[in-house]
Structure 1
């Protein structure tokens, strides 16, 4: 098997190629670029999702094969069973499809390599910002543009009251709103895709992201790549009880409460989230 840096170079190249395809659909420069929006389990899917999924899978498989790696992509995943391979690619070809359709610019591409249920390599591309974030386990996080790459770090030194929560425009429900209203930090910034939210934290424009499953939960492909981008930039991303996230477990849903932060107050915020929910009884 190739070493991790060789694999990372392949994943970054695939990420940029996928970004070019999405931008061509987004800006209508591709021939017959009607998005042909369909709905799968109440979530929108476009021809762009399908085209980019196919591009990423074909190019990773051409470069790396199927012998050492298994592949999970949002647009091709059907089975609930855990893939037996030691290394599994977990891919979201278009995270933030609603934002893509609404033209907010806040959509992203997630490519993560998971080994034994934990991410070891991640690429998150924000096409409209023309930025690609990449990380390897123990290797730090970098922001890459067409002109090169530089390391990025989360912010530090703020008071807990001055922290900014990055929140969704959609995927809101009463229980989550109640939780957010009862935390000590009340600054909020609305951003689309999870990848874009985590990019906002590593760019020091926000400090916290919270996901609380309601009738649905985020999937492995929503979280795996952004998690490693954040943690290698000095942040933390755990369940509310502090335990690490697990991927390729046989259940693609990340149920319960997840908290991502710039880390200084991570344990305090997790405890406060648990306390707020323990004393709440809103319908959700």
Structure 2
């Protein structure tokens, strides 16, 4: 179905994204039924794990996405890296990279704690990765009834249940002091708080899921998202789909040194400092963040 033509050109990518969009909406329906206590699949069954809570909604939605994608793409040329199957198969031990040419990276429920606490800020995230980089992505924000999707080199679009895709672009705000940060209500240690206190951009808003954070940026309601790992780090499935959604909307999403993110490397942890922005002063933001962190670590 898919063929790499060279120079970031792909055959069959439009069909792949159409399937991913359909699966994304189906996954959103499952999550919303649990969210409203209307699921016929049983109780939510919340379990606290080392990496955070897991619910029946995570597991059921994960299986739905896997079943749908595997039925269409098979397992010979396509690998599947998902939050729930990785936890089950690896048992905490680093796994080797998947060997297939095409890798689906899936987070069936990004923002599980926000799902449990009913903030509405949770998302379904599905990315297709080729040679360690995302080439197609879907992020669904179920409670906003919006689906964001992107293809490498083709821009980012948002659509509702009725379809009608509309292109989205990040803001053109350029003064770093005027930029707005989107941050989590939790996952904030002293080091991260120190960084926030010393950055020149003081406007902050709180949003849960990474997918919802990036949606907030491409909707021009915010401009910056920063991840600073501590005892844990975001995983491939937290970042892969949101990254392409942002970059195809004109933004930038890099490590602190400006290098690109890579996926399916064996270690699913995205350690270090990751910076996502509207791209207008990305290098300046990275440099100021470096200086602040070096002061803290010296």
TM range (shorter): over 0.9
Deviation at 1:41, TM superposition (A): 1.8
Deviation at 1:154, TM superposition (A): 0.2
Q: 2:72 aligns with which of 51, 63, 71?
A: 63
Match of 2:157 in 1: 142
Deviation at 1:42, TM superposition (A): 4.2
Match of 2:291 in 1: 275
Match of 1:230 in 2: 246
Q: Within 2, Cα distance between the matches of 1:20 and 1:250?
A: 31
Q: Within 2, Cα distance between the matches of 1:32 and 1:120?
A: 34
Which structure 2 residues correspond to residues 1-284 of structure 1 after superposition, within 5 A?
1-2=1-2, 3-31=12-40, 33-77=42-86, 78-79=89-90, 80-147=95-162, 148-281=164-297
Q: Within 2, Cα distance between the matches of 1:273 and 1:59?
A: 42
Q: Within 2, Cα distance between the matches of 1:104 and 1:29?
A: 18
Q: Within 1, Cα distance between the matches of 2:42 and 2:136?
A: 32
Q: Structure 2 unaligned runs (5+)?
A: 3-11
TM (norm. structure 1) is 0.97
Match of 2:5 in 1: none
State the secondary structure of the residue aligned to 1:49.
helix
Q: Within 2, Cα distance between the matches of 1:250 and 1:10?
A: 27
Q: Within 2, Cα distance between the matches of 1:113 and 1:249?
A: 15
Q: Within 2, Cα distance between the matches of 1:278 and 1:42?
A: 28
Q: Structure 1 unaligned runs (5+)?
A: none
Deviation at 1:65, TM superposition (A): 0.9
CA shift in 2, pair 1:59/1:133, >3 Å: same
Show structure 1 runs of 4+ deviating over 6 A: none
Q: Within 2, Cα distance between the matches of 1:32 and 1:224?
A: 29
Q: Within 1, Cα distance between the matches of 2:52 and 2:70?
A: 27
Q: Within 1, Cα distance between the matches of 2:136 and 2:57?
A: 24
Q: Within 2, Cα distance between the matches of 1:71 and 1:281?
A: 38
Number of residue pairs aligned between Structure 1 and Structure 2: 282
Q: Within 2, Cα distance between the matches of 1:33 and 1:216?
A: 31
Q: Within 2, Cα distance between the matches of 1:7 and 1:69?
A: 12
Q: Within 1, Cα distance between the matches of 2:51 and 2:132?
A: 28
TM (norm. structure 2) is 0.93
Q: Within 1, Cα distance between the matches of 2:127 and 2:39?
A: 27
